[in-house]
């Protein structure tokens, strides 16, 4: 951001029907360099840079052939995969509607639906070598409840990964402050050679989100 005074932070007037919190959020969006860069690069959200930065650090997308994107909406992560690994087959799922992405198969359904795992498995010609999850439960304003709801999604994503990944595969998922719960962490350490937590620079400083990266899937017994 320029310090010359030629490009000052944009201010948003508080409309009569807009809450103060909404106004602050909109102002933050307008002044966020990642949001501006996402528009310039054609990505649907600033979250794309979180995956880009994590990939630069951990090599998540190197040689991937089949990818599952859990919580795909609005599609930024799958856009990144398409750019870095253009030959990879990608399947995404989200409860919300997602605009089509060329080369990506998208299902609008709840990942927690009992039928969802089979739908994803059948859409790929072989086991995925990367399962990525940016899912988060809708917040209710109660910190402990919100944490439990989101970690429930992470746990479901982890079980899906351990039941479907190809040997040597990778699992990445968004978790909240405090990292991965002990039981889930033990599950990942049992099935993967390397398990780490990371907070990419693209994550807002005030955000409670972190990412757990599990690499080197050991395979199923």
**Distance between CA atoms of 11 and 1, rounded to whole angstroms?**
15
Domain boundaries defined on the chain? 14-43, 48-217
- Digits of tens for pLDDT over the chain (221 positions)? 333 334 445 444 444 555 554 444 344 544 467 778 878 777 888 899 999 999 999 999 999 999 999 999 999 999 999 999 999 999 999 999 999 999 999 999 999 999 999 999 999 989 999 999 999 776 656 566 666 777 889 999 999 999 999 999 999 999 876 656 888 999 999 999 999 999 999 887 777 888 999 999 999 86
End-to-end CA distance of the chain: 53
**Distance between CA atoms of 166 and 128, rounded to whole angstroms?**
6
**Distance between CA atoms of 2 and 66, rounded to whole angstroms?**
41
Q: 70-86: b or e for each residue (b if 16 or more CB lie within 10 Å)?
A: bbbbbbbbbbbbbeebe
Give ∠ CA 74-77-81 in degrees, rounded to 5: 135
134 is in an annotated binding site: yes
221 is in an annotated binding site: no
Architecture of domain 48-217: 3-Layer(aba) Sandwich (3.40)
110 is in an annotated binding site: yes
Tell me whether strands 104-108 and 210-217 are parallel, antiparallel or unpaired. unpaired
Tell me whether strands 170-175 and 210-217 are parallel, antiparallel or unpaired. antiparallel
Question: Tokens 């997602």 — which residue?
Answer: 98
**Catalytic position from the list 6, 50, 115, 174:** 174
| Residue 8 dihedral angles phi and psi, to the nearest 5° | -65, 160
The neighbour count for residue 64, using CB atoms within 10 Å, is 21
**Distance between CA atoms of 76 and 61, rounded to whole angstroms?**
14
Please return the burial class of 198, using the count of CB atoms within 10 Å of its CB with bins 0-12, 13-18 and 19+: middle
* Residue 16 annotated to the active site: no
């Amino acid at each position: 951001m320029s310090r010359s005074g030629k490009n000052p932070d944009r201010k948003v007037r508080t409309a009569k029907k807009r809450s103060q919190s909404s106004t602050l959020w909109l102002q933050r969006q307008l002044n966020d360099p990642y949001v501006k860069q996402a528009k310039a690069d054609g990505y649907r959200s600033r979250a794309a840079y979180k995956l880009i930065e994590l990939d630069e650090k951990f090599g998540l997308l190197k040689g991937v052939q089949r990818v599952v994107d859990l919580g795909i909406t609005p599609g930024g992560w799958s856009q990144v995969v398409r750019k870095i690994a253009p030959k990879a087959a990608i399947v995404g799922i989200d409860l919300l509607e997602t605009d089509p992405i060329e080369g990506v198969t998208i299902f609008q359904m709840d990942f927690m639906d009992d039928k969802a795992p089979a739908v994803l498995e059948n859409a790929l010609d072989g086991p995925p070598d990367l399962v990525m999850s940016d899912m988060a439960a809708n917040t209710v304003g109660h910190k402990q409840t919100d944490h439990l709801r989101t970690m429930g999604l992470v746990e479901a994503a982890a079980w899906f990964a351990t039941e479907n990944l190809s040997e040597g595969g990778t699992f990445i998922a968004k978790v909240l402050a405090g990292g991965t719960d002990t039981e889930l962490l033990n599950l990942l350490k049992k099935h993967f050679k390397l398990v780490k937590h990371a907070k990419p620079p693209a994550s807002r400083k005030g955000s409670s989100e972190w990412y757990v990266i599990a690499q080197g899937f050991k395979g199923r017994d």
